[in-house]
């Protein structure tokens, strides 16, 4: 009686062995490292590695080693202080299309990592780094959508030869004024048939027949959702360009994004890249009207004044030839003839067709490249400090179209190589669908992160030790069996976190500590039921069998209800709440296995098959 079939024993041993194997990489600390990655025009090779090593030796910076890993160079250092010093030196030494970032380098032996065993990731509160909470300007997203519609309406009415006086955006609507009612009715029929997701109404603005076009509620919600998701994708692309390891970019609520960059300490550079909203517009210069008349206030309805970086005014057409949305790649380089910094641009298929047609039709005419950046400033308004958003649009280049341009071309007129590199990065990563504002910023230093790790580990060990002592005193041999299962449970949790490449945070450690206490609950229920059966006069073998079989339903109910709560926390929570839910969920699953199947295997091996064993419980 109470003998386990062979397959159950093999299963328990195999699971614990695999758990120990996949948990093993966490015994190896990671080295502080500086990572050098090449852009489109950079090259990571032995020559670069030699240059890096010489620069570090010249400044007496001790490093563990440098190694080439595919398209990146990894320099291992002894600690975070040396890491920051080395990055500063390399920032000054390496010029060109390279990204230099802080990282952590694995020290897991190759034979272990080659079999898929990797250490779990550590969260921001354990490794150190920066945390940003960003608010997406949804009003700007709606305004951008309306301006896009206004541009489309200009082209549609021009193609249909429908004469209009002006097209303007106001609040949440586009207003088109016409010369007469006949043209308004023609436009109403055309726009209503082509844009079924818009609300189009015919009105009279004074004496001007007009159309008022609004977005529907459904379209507004879709526009906001799309803007939020596109911003998340763009931020991820920008972080990839920065070379940050194990970043977190996730939605929070309806209009906010959380960005966590473990290991990053240079918050100024991170904010500059993440919050940058640089995009380009290519516009034709209006050479038919006098720019000086426009400066004095006589601006043509189809044009707008823009200023060059040097302060010169230009009159540009309102109709945009091409926007930065069609840019799929860009890189900074030097002009082969003048040696000045330039940005090479590659367009997607649609952008190439549009640009080819427009430039082909305007050979000999001047074209301007406008750099648009959204910025947030703090100003004193009415005695209170208020954040004010503004859009800064500057012409960076004006050139005459000599040939028909297509998929690839260059942008000149940039002030420095650093500006060219930054613009190329922002264009390559994509434009933000709407401006973002950093509403919360936190920095966790590496030393504080290590302190959190030490205290978190200490809390787990103290809780673990108290449970071990209590179980041995109260349940004797059976308590020792429960302790073995609890140890295996911790190993399995760490193994699963490593296999899933989950991120462990301080709340995650709290989940593990809670699991340590909960994991023995099942054994307490089983052992108390065995004691009760012994008091009723049942045989030891029957008491063991009834203890495990009768307590199972109670254990399952208790753990399932806790698991449901953990799943809800994971589904609706964010950030640290998700970390707590993950470790709690994994702990529940592993404790069910170790506390029931694992302990029964050990108990059966100790007492199974004996006629009337004396139970130490």
306 with 397, same domain: the answer is: yes
Q: Specify whether the CB–CB gap between 8 and 597 falls below 8 A.
A: yes
Q: Is 291 helix (H, G, I), strand (E, B) or coil?
A: helix
For residues 190 and 200, give the distance between their C-alpha atoms in angstroms, rounded to a whole number: 11
Residues 480, 501: one domain? yes
How much is the pLDDT for 445?
65
183 Cβ neighbours under 8 A, 6+ residues apart = 162, 163, 164, 209
Residue 40 has pLDDT above 60, yes or no: no
Residue that finishes a domain, picked among 411, 428, 443: 443
Instruction: Give the C-alpha separation, 480 to 466, whole Å.
Output: 13
The answer on 465 and 412 residing in a single domain is: no
More confident residue, 396 or 476: 476
Residues 6+ apart with CB under 8 A from 149: 174, 195, 198, 213
Q: How far apart are CA 5 and CA 14, in angstroms?
A: 15
Q: Tokens 């839910």 belong to which residue?
A: 581
Return the percentage of the chain with pLDDT > 70, whole number.
Answer: 88
Q: Which residue has the tokens 């303007």?
A: 168
Question: Where residue 429 sits, what CATH number does that domain have?
Answer: 3.30.1360.200
Q: How far is CA 8 from CA 189, 221, 599, in A?
A: 75, 54, 12
Give the tens place of pLDDT for each residue, 171-227: 788 889 898 888 888 888 888 888 888 888 888 888 888 989 988 888 888 888 888
Is residue 285 located within the same domain as residue 366?
Answer: yes
Four-point Cα dihedral 419, 421, 427, 433, nearest 10: -60
**Phi and psi torsions of 3, nearest 5°:** -105, 130
41, pLDDT greater than 60? no
Cα dihedral across residues 467, 473, 475, 479: positive or negative: positive
CATH number at residue 171: 3.30.1360
Pairing mode of beta strands 31-38, 98-105: antiparallel
Domain assignment present for residue 284? The answer is yes
Give yes or no: residues 16 and 79 share one domain: no
**Ordered alpha helix ranges (H), 276-414:** 291-295, 349-361
Q: What letter does residue 180 receive in the DSSP assignment?
A: S
In a domain, 117, yes or no: no
- Structure tokens of 255? 């209009």
Question: Whose CA is closest to 258, among 579, 611, 590?
Answer: 579
Does 57 fall in a domain? yes
Q: Which two tokens stand for residue 40?
A: 């489109």
CB–CB of 104/123 below 8 Å?
no
Q: Please name which of 447, 449, 489 lies closest in space to residue 467, comparing C-alpha atoms.
A: 489
Burial of 164 (0-12, 13-18, 19+ CB in 10 A): buried
Rounded to whole angstroms, the Cα distance separating 550 from 469 reads 27
**Is 154 contained in some domain?**
yes
Distance in angstroms (rounded) separating the CA atoms of residues 364 and 244? 45
**Token representation of residue 2:** 């109470």
- The torsion angle over the Cα atoms of residues 355, 358, 362 and 367, rounded to 10 degrees, is -50
Task: Categorise residue 241: left if φ over 0, alpha if ψ from -120 to 50, beta otherwise.
Answer: alpha
CA dihedral 377, 379, 381, 386 (to 10 degrees): 50
Residue 268, pLDDT > 70, answer no
For 400-417, what is the mean pLDDT?
A: 75
CB 406 within 8 A of CB 355: yes
Query: What DSSP character marks residue 369?
Result: E
The full length of the chain comes to 617
Mean pLDDT of the residues in the chain? 81
| pLDDT 10s digits, 134-168 | 888 888 888 888 888 887 888 888 888 888 888 88
CATH of the domain at 542: 1.20.1640.10
- Predicted TM-score (pTM) of the model is 0.60
- pLDDT score of 228: 87
**Listed range (134-138, 178-182, 234-238, 444-448) with the worst mean pLDDT:** 444-448
Q: Are residues 489 and 588 in the same domain?
A: yes
The answer to whether position 338 is within a domain reads yes
d(CA 558, CA 331): 58
Domain assignment present for 341 = yes
Structural domain count of the chain: 4
Helical H runs in 500-539? Answer: 506-535
Quote the CA–CA distance of 392 and 372 in Å, as a whole number: 6
Q: If 0-12 CB within 10 Å is exposed, 13-18 middle and 19+ buried, where does residue 312 land? A: exposed
Asked if residues 152 and 167 have their Cβ atoms less than 8 Å apart, the reply is no
CATH number at residue 42: 3.30.70.260
Q: Where is the domain boundary, 193, 219, 245?
A: 219
Q: How many other C-beta atoms lie within 10 A of the C-beta of residue 207?
A: 5
Same domain, 343 and 384: yes
Scan for tokens 């966790």, then name that residue.
444
- Max alpha carbon distance in the chain (Å)? 110
Scanning the structure block, which residue is given the tokens 């669908």? 433
> Given this model, what pLDDT does residue 267 score?
63
The reply to whether 11 and 53 lie within a common domain is no
Q: What is the pLDDT of residue 101?
A: 73
Asked if the model's pLDDT at residue 378 lies above 60, the reply is no
Band of pLDDT at residue 244, cut at 50, 70 and 90 = low
Residues 250 and 398 in one domain: yes
Range of the domain at 460: 6-25+445-607
On whether the CB atoms of residues 86 and 61 are closer than 8 A, the answer is yes
**Do 579 and 495 share a structural domain?**
yes
* Measured distance between the N- and C-terminal CA atoms of the chain, rounded to whole angstroms: 19
**Backbone φ, ψ for residue 237 (5° rounding):** -65, -40
Q: Is residue 36 part of a domain?
A: yes
Parallel, antiparallel, or unpaired for β 121-122 and 503-504? Answer: parallel
pLDDT digits (tens, 9 = 90+) for 537-584: 888 888 888 888 888 888 888 888 888 988 888 887 766 787 788 888
Of 426, 519, 452, 417, whose CA–CA distance to 262 is shortest?
Answer: 452
Cβ atoms of residues 414 and 342 within 8 Å: yes
Same domain, 421 and 510: no
Q: Lowest-confidence range among 9-13, 298-302, 448-452, 512-516?
A: 448-452
The verdict on 168 and 71 lying in the same domain is no
Angle value at C-alpha 251, between 246 and 256, nearest 5 degrees: 120
Q: Would residue 224 count as lying in a domain?
A: no
Distance separating alpha carbons of residues 492 and 519, to the nearest angstrom: 12
Residue linked to tokens 């526009």: 223
Domain stops at, among 169, 185, 219: 219
């Amino acid at each position: 009686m109470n003998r386990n079939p062979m397959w159950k024993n093999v299963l328990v041993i195999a699971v614990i062995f695999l758990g120990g194997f996949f948990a093993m990489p966490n015994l190896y600390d990671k080295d502080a490292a500086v990572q050098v990655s090449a852009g489109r025009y950079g090259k990571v090779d032995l020559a670069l590695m030699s240059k890096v090593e010489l620069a570090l030796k010249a400044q007496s910076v001790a490093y563990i080693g440098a190694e080439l890993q595919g398209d990146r160079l990894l320099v291992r250092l002894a600690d975070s202080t040396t890491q920051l010093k080395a990055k500063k030196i390399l920032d000054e030494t390496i010029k060109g299309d390279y990204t230099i970032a802080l990282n952590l380098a694995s020290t897991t032996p190759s034979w272990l990592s080659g079999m898929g065993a990797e250490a779990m990731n550590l969260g921001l509160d354990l490794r150190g780094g920066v945390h940003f909470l960003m608010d997406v300007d949804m009003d700007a997203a709606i305004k951008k959508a309306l301006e896009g519609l206004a541009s489309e309406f200009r082209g549609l009415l021009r193609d249909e030869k429908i004469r209009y006086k002006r097209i303007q955006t106001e609040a949440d609507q586009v207003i088109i004024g016409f010369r007469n009612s006949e043209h308004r009715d023609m436009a109403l029929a055309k726009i209503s048939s082509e844009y079924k997701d818009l609300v189009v109404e015919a009105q009279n603005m004074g004496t001007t027949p007009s159309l008022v076009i609004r977005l529907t509620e459904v379209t507004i919600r879709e526009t906001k959702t799309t803007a939020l998701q596109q911003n998340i994708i763009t931020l991820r692309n920008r972080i990839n360009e920065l070379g940050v390891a194990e970043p977190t970019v996730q939605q929070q609520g309806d209009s906010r994004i959380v960005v966590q960059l473990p290991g990053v300490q240079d918050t100024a550079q991170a904010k500059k890249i993440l919050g940058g909203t640089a995009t380009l517009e290519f516009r034709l210069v209006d050479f038919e009207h006098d720019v000086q008349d426009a400066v004095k206030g006589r601006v043509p309805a189809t044009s707008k004044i823009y200023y060059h970086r040097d302060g010169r005014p230009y009159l540009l057409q309102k109709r945009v030839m091409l926007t930065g949305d069609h840019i799929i790649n860009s890189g900074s380089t030097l002009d082969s003839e003048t040696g000045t910094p330039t940005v090479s641009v590659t367009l997607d298929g649609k952008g190439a067709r549009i640009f080819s047609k427009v430039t082909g039709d305007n050979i000999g005419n001047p074209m301007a490249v406008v750099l648009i950046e959204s910025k947030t400033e703090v100003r004193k308004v009415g005695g209170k400090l208020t954040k004010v958003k503004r859009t800064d649009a500057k012409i960076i280049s004006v050139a005459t179209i000599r040939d028909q341009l297509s998929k690839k071309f260059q942008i000149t007129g940039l002030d420095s190589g650093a500006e060219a590199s930054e613009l190329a990065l922002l264009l390559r990563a994509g434009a933000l669908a709407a401006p973002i504002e950093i509403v919360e910023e936190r920095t966790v230093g590496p030393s504080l992160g290590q302190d959190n790790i030490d205290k978190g580990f200490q809390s787990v060990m103290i809780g673990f030790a108290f449970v071990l002592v209590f179980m041995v005193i109260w349940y004797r041999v059976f308590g020792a069996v429960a302790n073995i299962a609890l140890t295996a449970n911790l190993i399995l949790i760490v193994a699963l976190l490593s296999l899933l490449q989950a991120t462990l945070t301080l709340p995650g450690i709290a989940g593990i500590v809670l699991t340590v206490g909960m994991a023995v609950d099942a054994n307490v229920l089983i052992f108390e039921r065995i004691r009760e059966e012994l008091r009723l006069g049942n045989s030891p073998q029957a008491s063991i069998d009834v203890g495990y079989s009768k307590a199972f339903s109670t254990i399952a109910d208790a753990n399932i209800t806790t698991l449901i709560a953990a799943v809800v926390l994971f589904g609706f929570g964010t950030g640290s709440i998700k970390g707590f839910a993950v470790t709690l969920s994994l702990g529940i699953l592993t404790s069910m296995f170790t506390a029931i199947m694992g302990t029964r295997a050990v108990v059966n091996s100790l007492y199974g098959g004996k006629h009337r064993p004396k139970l130490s419980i």
